[in-house]
C-alpha cells in the first residue's frame, strides 16, 4: 500500500514539472501577431512603396528613390525600436522586405532604351520637365535677391546658396531624364556664376571702403583675437571722426580741441598696443589694417591742422585786440616799475627759459653753461625770462573779445608738453600759483627747477609735478616743452610769456628720485610710542580700512589745549604725519599729516585719540619706498 502511494506521488511530481516546462516555454515564445506600432510602420512603408511604383509607371522614376528611402527607413525602424518583441521571420515583414528589394532592383537596373538612359537622351532642345522648370524658376527668384544686394554694394550669401542648391537638385533628383547641356541649364549656371563673382567683388569693394567698425566681416579672414582687436581700434576712430566733423563745422572749433586730443590719445594707445601685440603676424597689405592705418594718420593730421587753425585765429584775434587797445596795453606794461634785464643771458633770452645742470644764481647768470639735453636722472635747473613782470602783463578773457585787464593777483600757470602731449599734474596744468608784492610787481626773471639735485624746498611743487608726470615714459629720447602763462581766473595772457625746450633721454628702468624726506618726530614727551599707536588706531575708519596700511608715524607737533565753547569741556590736539604703503607699485610711498584730538575725562585722565582733520600746510609728499 505504501509502495503504491509513492508511485502515484512520483507520477504527480513528474507531470507537474512537465506542465511547468510547457507553460514557461509558451510564455517565452515570440508573439505570432505584430503590435499596432509595428503594423503602423508596415502600412506607412507600403504607402511609400505604392507612391514609388506609381512614379515609376508614370514616367517619373527620378522621384521614386526618395519614396523608397522613406519606406526602407520605416522598415529599419521596426527592428531598431521593437527588436526582440516579434518574430523577424513574420510573413508580413518578409513580404515588406521583398517588395522593398524588388523596387530597389528595378530602380538600379539600366533603364530601357525608350526610357531615361542618359546616353539616349536627345541633345540640345529636348523639353525639360515641369519639375526641372520649377527649380530653374526658383533659382532665378533667389538670384533676383542676390542682384538686389549687389546693387546696394553688399551680398546675400543665403539667397546665392539657395540658387546653387536648386541647380544641384536638378542633377541629383532628375538625372538621366534630360540633356545636362540643355541651353536653359547652361544659362542658369552662367547666371549663378556671374552673381557669385559680382557678390565677391561687391564684398571686396565694401571691405575696402566701408568703415571697419560698421563692416566686421572684413576681418573674417583674420584669427579671431586679431580681427576683434583691429575692430576695437576702428571703434576708437568713430567718436574721434564725429567730433572732428562737428568741430570743423562749429563757430568755435577751439572748444573741441581738448576732447579731440583725448580721443586721439586713446586711439593712438590702442593702435600702438595692437601693433606691438601682433607684430610680424598680420598678413601683409591686409585691406582692413591699411584702412585703419590710413585713418589714424589722417585723423592725426586733421587734429594738428585744426590746432594750427585755432592757434592762428587766436593770434590774429589777440593781435587785433592789442591793436585796438594799444593804449590800454601800454598802460598795463607800465603799471609797476619792473626790473630790466639782469644779465646778457637775460637780454638775449627774453621770453625764453634757459636750462642748466646746476642752479642759475641771479648774480652768476653769464657764467653758467646752458644746455638743452638731459637724462631723466640728471639735475635739471632753469631760469625764466619774461618781457614784463606778471603785474605788468596784460591778460584777456578766454574765448571772446575783451579789453585787456591787469593781472592784479600775479597769477601764473606752467604747462608741460612731452612729445607734443600735454602732461598735467594738478588742476589741469603742470603747476600754478601766485606771486606776492615785489615779486609779482617787478620780477622779470626767477629760477624754476623740475628736477632739483640736491633737493631744495623752494622747488618742491615743480619737483613733485615733474616726478609724477614723467612716470611711465618709455626708454628713448623725448621732446620736452614748458610754457609759462600769466593767468587770473578765466583771463590769461595772449600767448605764453616764456617757453623752454630740451631733449630728455630716458633709460630702461630710469625714474626720478624723490628729494622729499619723511619728517622726524618733533614731540619729545615720554609717551611718544603710545601717541603713535593711538594715531594709528584713530585713523582706522575715518581714513584707513586697516592699520596695516600704515608704514610709519611721526608725531610732528606738541599738545595744544583748548576748551569747547558750548560744553566747557577741555580738549587737547596734536598732529602726526603718516607714511602709507605703496598703493600703485611705483616705488614711492605717500605721506600726509593729520590733526588728532583727545577729550578730558576727569582728573588726570584723557580719552583715546580721535581723528580730527587733515592738516593744511603741514608736511605732505612722496618718498621712495623703504
- Measured in degrees and rounded to the nearest 5, phi and psi for residue 625 equal -60, 135
In angstroms, the CA 164 to CA 139 distance is 7
The predicted structure's pLDDT at residue 399: 59
pLDDT above 90: residue 605: yes
Q: Across residues 202-212, what is the average pLDDT? A: 69
Which of 404, 492, 463, 459 is closest to 588 using CA atoms?
Answer: 463
Contact of 244 with 303, CB cutoff 8 Å? yes
**Residue 14 pLDDT exceeds 60:** no
Report whether 319 contacts 326 (CB < 8 A): no
Predicted confidence at residue 322, as pLDDT, reads 66
**Euclidean distance between CA atoms 429 and 483, whole angstroms:** 10
pLDDT, average across residues 136-143: 91
> What does the radius of gyration of the chain's CA atoms come to, in whole angstroms?
47
Query: Pairing mode, if any, of strands 431-434 and 498-506?
Result: unpaired
- Rounded to an integer, the average pLDDT of 15-38 is 55
Compute the average pLDDT of residues 440-455: 91
Split at pLDDT 50, 70, 90, the class of 480 is very high
Per residue, the 3-state secondary structure of 76-113, as one string, reads HHHHHHHCCCCCCCCHHHHHHHHHHHHHHHHHHCCCCC
Residue 206: per-residue pLDDT: 62
Is 550 within 8 Å of 515 (Cβ atoms)?
no
- pLDDT number for residue 351: 94
Contact assessment for residue 619 and residue 591, using Cβ atoms and an 8 Å cutoff: yes
d(CA 109, CA 306): 82
Nearest residue to 296 (alpha-carbon basis) of 233, 250, 351, 249: 233
pLDDT at 481: 93
User: Given pLDDT bands bounded at 50, 70 and 90, which one contains residue 11?
Assistant: very low
Could you give the C-alpha distances from 139 to 146, 148, 156, 313, 626, in angstroms and in order? 11, 15, 14, 63, 79
SS3 of 181-197: CCHHHHHHHHHHHHHHH
- In this prediction, residues 293-308 reach a mean pLDDT of 92
| Amino acid 18: pLDDT | 41
- For β-strands 431-434 and 421-422, DSSP reports them as unpaired
Q: What is the mean pLDDT of residues 245-263?
A: 85
| Residue 575 pLDDT exceeds 60 | yes
Q: How confident is the model at residue 188 (pLDDT cuts 50, 70, 90)?
A: very high
With H, G, I as helix, E, B as strand and everything else as coil, classify residue 238. helix
The predicted pLDDT at position 208 comes to 59
pTM for the predicted model, two decimal places: 0.45
CB 503 within 8 A of CB 372: yes
pLDDT band at 2 (very low <50, low <70, confident <90, very high): very low
- Residue 197 exposure: Cα atoms within 13 Å on the Cβ side: 6
Say whether pLDDT at 24 is over 70. no
Average pLDDT over residues 52-64: 75
Q: How far apart are CA 240 and CA 260, in angstroms?
A: 6
pLDDT value of position 447: 94
Top-ranked range on mean pLDDT: pick from 75-84, 130-139, 189-198, 535-544: 535-544
| 546 — pLDDT class (breaks 50, 70, 90) | very high
Residue spans of alpha helices (H) in 456-615: 460-469, 528-539
Q: Is the pLDDT of residue 22 over 60?
A: no
For 212-244, how does the pLDDT look when each residue is reduced to its tens digit (9 = 90+)?
888 787 888 888 889 899 999 999 998 898 889
Within 10 A of 330 (CB to CB), how many other CB atoms are there? 12
Is the separation of the CB atoms in 569 and 599 below 8 Å?
yes
Residue 152 confidence (pLDDT) above 70? yes
- For the residues 293-318, what does the mean pLDDT come to? 88
- Beta-bridged to residue 137, according to DSSP, are none
For the residues 257-261, what does the mean pLDDT come to?
A: 85
What tens digit of pLDDT does each residue of 339-378 get? 989 999 999 999 999 999 999 999 999 999 999 999 998 9
312 near 250, Cβ under 8 Å? no
Instruction: Give the Cα-Cα-Cα angle 489, 495, 500 (nearest 5 degrees).
Output: 110
∠ CA 433-401-444, nearest 5°, is 35
Q: Residue 191: pLDDT above 90?
A: yes
Do 429 and 258 form a contact (C-beta atoms < 8 A)? no
Report the pLDDT value the prediction gives residue 360, as an integer from 0 to 100.
95
Percent of the chain with pLDDT over 70: 89
CA separation for the pair 381, 379 (Å, rounded): 7
pLDDT level of residue 21 (50, 70, 90 thresholds) = very low
Alpha-carbon distance of 516 to 300, in angstroms, equals: 39
Among the ranges given (271-275, 337-341, 507-511, 542-546), the one the predictor scored with the smallest mean pLDDT: 507-511
Positive or negative CA dihedral for 612, 614, 620, 624? positive
DSSP characters for 2-57?
HHHHHHHHHHHHHHHHHHHHHHHHHHHSPPSSPPHHHHHHHHHHHHHHHHHHHHHH
For residues 461 and 452, what is the distance between their CA atoms, to the nearest angstrom? 11
CB 603 within 8 A of CB 619: no
Mind listing the pLDDT tens digit for each residue in 372-422? 999 998 999 999 999 999 999 999 887 555 788 999 999 999 999 998 899
Q: How far apart are alpha carbons 49 and 334 in whole angstroms?
A: 115
Report residue 576's pLDDT band, with 50, 70 and 90 as the boundaries.
very high
Cα(first)–Cα(last) distance of the chain, in Å? 119
- The x, y and z cell numbers of residue 616, run together, are 593744511
Amino acid at each position: 500500500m505504501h509502495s503504491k502511494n509513492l508511485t502515484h506521488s512520483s507520477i504527480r511530481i513528474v507531470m507537474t514539472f512537465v506542465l511547468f516546462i510547457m507553460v514557461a516555454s509558451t510564455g517565452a515564445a515570440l508573439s505570432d501577431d505584430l503590435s499596432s506600432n509595428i503594423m503602423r510602420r508596415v502600412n506607412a512603408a507600403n504607402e511609400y512603396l505604392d507612391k514609388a511604383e506609381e512614379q515609376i509607371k508614370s514616367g517619373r522614376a527620378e522621384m521614386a528613390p526618395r519614396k523608397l528611402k522613406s519606406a526602407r527607413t520605416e522598415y529599419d525602424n521596426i527592428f531598431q525600436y521593437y527588436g526582440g518583441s516579434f518574430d523577424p521571420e513574420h510573413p508580413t515583414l518578409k513580404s515588406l522586405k521583398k517588395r522593398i528589394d524588388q523596387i530597389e532592383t528595378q530602380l538600379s537596373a539600366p533603364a530601357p532604351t525608350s526610357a531615361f538612359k542618359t546616353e539616349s537622351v536627345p541633345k540640345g532642345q529636348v523639353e525639360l520637365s515641369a519639375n526641372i522648370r520649377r527649380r530653374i524658376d526658383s533659382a532665378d527668384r533667389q538670384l533676383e535677391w542676390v542682384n538686389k544686394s549687389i546693387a546696394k554694394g553688399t551680398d546675400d550669401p543665403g539667397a546665392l546658396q539657395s540658387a546653387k542648391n536648386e541647380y544641384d537638385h536638378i542633377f541629383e533628383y532628375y538625372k538621366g531624364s534630360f540633356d545636362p547641356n540643355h541651353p536653359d541649364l547652361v544659362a542658369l549656371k552662367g547666371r549663378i556664376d556671374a552673381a557669385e563673382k559680382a557678390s565677391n567683388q561687391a564684398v571686396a569693394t565694401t571691405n575696402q571702403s566701408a568703415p571697419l567698425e560698421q563692416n566686421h566681416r572684413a576681418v573674417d579672414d583674420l584669427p579671431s583675437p586679431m580681427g576683434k582687436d583691429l575692430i576695437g581700434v576702428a571703434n576708437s576712430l568713430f567718436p574721434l571722426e564725429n567730433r572732428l566733423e562737428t568741430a570743423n563745422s562749429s563757430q568755435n572749433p577751439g572748444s573741441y580741441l581738448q576732447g579731440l586730443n583725448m580721443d586721439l590719445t586713446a586711439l593712438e594707445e590702442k593702435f600702438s598696443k595692437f601693433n606691438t601685440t601682433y607684430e610680424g603676424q598680420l598678413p601683409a597689405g591686409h585691406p582692413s589694417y591699411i584702412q585703419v592705418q590710413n585713418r589714424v594718420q589722417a585723423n592725426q593730421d586733421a587734429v594738428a591742422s585744426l590746432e594750427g587753425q585755432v592757434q592762428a585765429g587766436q593770434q590774429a584775434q589777440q593781435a587785433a585786440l592789442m591793436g585796438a587797445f594799444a593804449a590800454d596795453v601800454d598802460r598795463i606794461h607800465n603799471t609797476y616799475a619792473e626790473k630790466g634785464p639782469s644779465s646778457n643771458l637775460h637780454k638775449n633770452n627774453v621770453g625764453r627759459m634757459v636750462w642748466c645742470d646746476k642752479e642759475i644764481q641771479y648774480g652768476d647768470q653769464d657764467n653758467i653753461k646752458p644746455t638743452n639735453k638731459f637724462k631723466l636722472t640728471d639735475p635739471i635747473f632753469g631760469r625764466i625770462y619774461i618781457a614784463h613782470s606778471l603785474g605788468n602783463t596784460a591778460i584777456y578773457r578766454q574765448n571772446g573779445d575783451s579789453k585787456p585787464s591787469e593781472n592784479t593777483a600775479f597769477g601764473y600757470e606752467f604747462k608741460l608738453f612731452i612729445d607734443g602731449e600735454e602732461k598735467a599734474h594738478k588742476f589741469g596744468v603742470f603747476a600754478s600759483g601766485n606771486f606776492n608784492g615785489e615779486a609779482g610787481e617787478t620780477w622779470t626773471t626767477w629760477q624754476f627747477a623740475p628736477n632739483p639735485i640736491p633737493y631744495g624746498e623752494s622747488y618742491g611743487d615743480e619737483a613733485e609735478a615733474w616726478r609724477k608726470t614723467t612716470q611711465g615714459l618709455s626708454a628713448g629720447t623725448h621732446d620736452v616743452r614748458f610754457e609759462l602763462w600769466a593767468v587770473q581766473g578765466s583771463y590769461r595772457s595772449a600767448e605764453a610769456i616764456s617757453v623752454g625746450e630740451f631733449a630728455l633721454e630716458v633709460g630702461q628702468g630710469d625714474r626720478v628720485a624723490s628729494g622729499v624726506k619723511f619728517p622726524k618726530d618733533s614731540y619729545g614727551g615720554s609717551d611718544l610710542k603710545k601717541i603713535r599707536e593711538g594715531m594709528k588706531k584713530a585713523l582706522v575708519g575715518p581714513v584707513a580700512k586697516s592699520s596695516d596700511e600704515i608704514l610709519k608715524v611721526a608725531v610732528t607737533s606738541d599738545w595744544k589745549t583748548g576748551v569747547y565753547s558750548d560744553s566747557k569741556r577741555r580738549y587737547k590736539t596734536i598732529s602726526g604725519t603718516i607714511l602709507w604703503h605703496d598703493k600703485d607699485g611705483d616705488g614711492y610711498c605717500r605721506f600726509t599729516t593729520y590733526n588728532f584730538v583727545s577729550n578730558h575725562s576727569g582728573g588726570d585722565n584723557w580719552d583715546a585719540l580721535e581723528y580730527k582733520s587733515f592738516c593744511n600746510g603741514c608736511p605732505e609728499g612722496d618718498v621712495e619706498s623703504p
